[in-house]
A = this chain, B = another copy of it.
Amino acid sequence: MAKEGLFNVRASDGGELRLSRASVGRFSLYLRHLEGVLGEGAAKVSSGQLGEALGITDAQVRKDLAYLGSLGQPGIGYSTQELIDAIRRLLGIDRCWPVALVGVGNLGRALLGYRGFAQRGFRVVALFDTDPTKIGQVIDELTICNVEQMPAVIAATGAELGVIAVPCAAAQMVADALIRAGIRGLLNFAPVVLRTPAEVRLVSVDLTVQLEQLAFLVHTQAPESPDTR
């Protein structure tokens, strides 16, 4: 009932590009690794080196990078910096994304303090919680607001993405409120399947599911280790 598929992206040359879902996930990993090797002074990388580092084949890497245009030089490799810039553009993280965080428990605080977010241009600009005792507290110069204030606060701060880090009983209600307030994408950590209108994007991360995957792998002694996600 839900159709999987390819993404249509405006390519750098202005044309349309069909991008597979699986590649999108890998671009984040390429980016992370490329920023690392650039810091070590490597101005060039080859598909073989990248594949080695991420545990995938060199052919796969070349297929992915070909989406960015013809950035590679035969016999030489790719310019690290050029790849980084192109991937950031493709993923849409060549700019700042203002984020609203709902649920300032341990998980929320962990996300708030997470370096990786800021480094990639994600900036938490608003905090919300449903617990009345937390309303009004200030963390990192941000005041925790209640859900009723959401439309006003989100309009004022310009938050476009929402992170849901509340217990699962409250998750759908929080999602609905965020959507009413005009948020365009949700990152959900609550272990429930959220119902959202088609125009709101949703990514869910369920920590229990990940642990269960691991238990399954250990339990069955499966042949190969899986990749990140």
- In the complex, which of the residues B110, B114, B199, B207 contacts A116, with contact meaning CB atoms closer than 8 Å? B207
Closest Cβ of chain B to A142, distance in Å, is: 16
Across the interface, A216 reaches (CB within 8 A) one of B54, B92, B106, namely B92
Q: Are A220 and B92 in contact (CB under 8 A)?
A: yes
Q: Could you mark each residue 176-217 of chain A with 1 if its beta carbon is under 8 Å from any beta carbon of chain B, else 0?
A: 000000001111000111001011111111111111111111
Any chain B CB within 8 A of the CB of A43?
no
CB-nearest residue of chain B relative to A199? B221
- CB of A226 within 8 A of CB of B202, answer yes
**Interface flag for A76 (CB, 8 Å):** no
Q: Give the chain B neighbours of A187 by CB distance below 8 A.
A: 210-211, 214
A225 located at the interface, meaning its Cβ lies under 8 Å from any Cβ of chain B in the complex = yes
- Of the four ranges (under 10, 10 to 19, 20 to 34, 35 or more), the interface on chain A belongs to 35 or more
Cα A151 to Cα B225 in complex, Å, equals 23
Task: Report B-chain residues with C-beta under 8 Å of the C-beta of A218.
Answer: 92, 160-161, 184-185, 201
What is the total number of copies of this protein in its complex? 2
Q: Mark A14-25, 1 if CB is under 8 A from B, else 0.
A: 000000010011
Given contacts A33-B193, A106-B109, A106-B110, contact A92 B28 (CB under 8 A): no
Contact of A210 among B92, B205, B223 (CB under 8 A): B205
- Report yes or no: B33 in contact with A216, Cβ–Cβ below 8 A: no
Minimal beta-carbon separation of A56 from chain B (angstroms): 6
16 further A-B pairs in the complex, CB-CB below 8 A; given A32-B192, A91-B219, A161-B214? A1-B58, A2-B224, A3-B223, A3-B224, A25-B213, A106-B106, A114-B207, A161-B211, A185-B215, A186-B214, A187-B214, A198-B224, A201-B217, A203-B210, A204-B227, A205-B210
- Residues of chain A at the chain B interface (Cβ within 8 Å): 1-5, 7-10, 21, 24-25, 27-29, 31-33, 51-58, 90-93, 97, 99, 105-107, 109-111, 113-117, 120, 122, 160-161, 163, 167, 184-187, 191-193, 196, 198-229
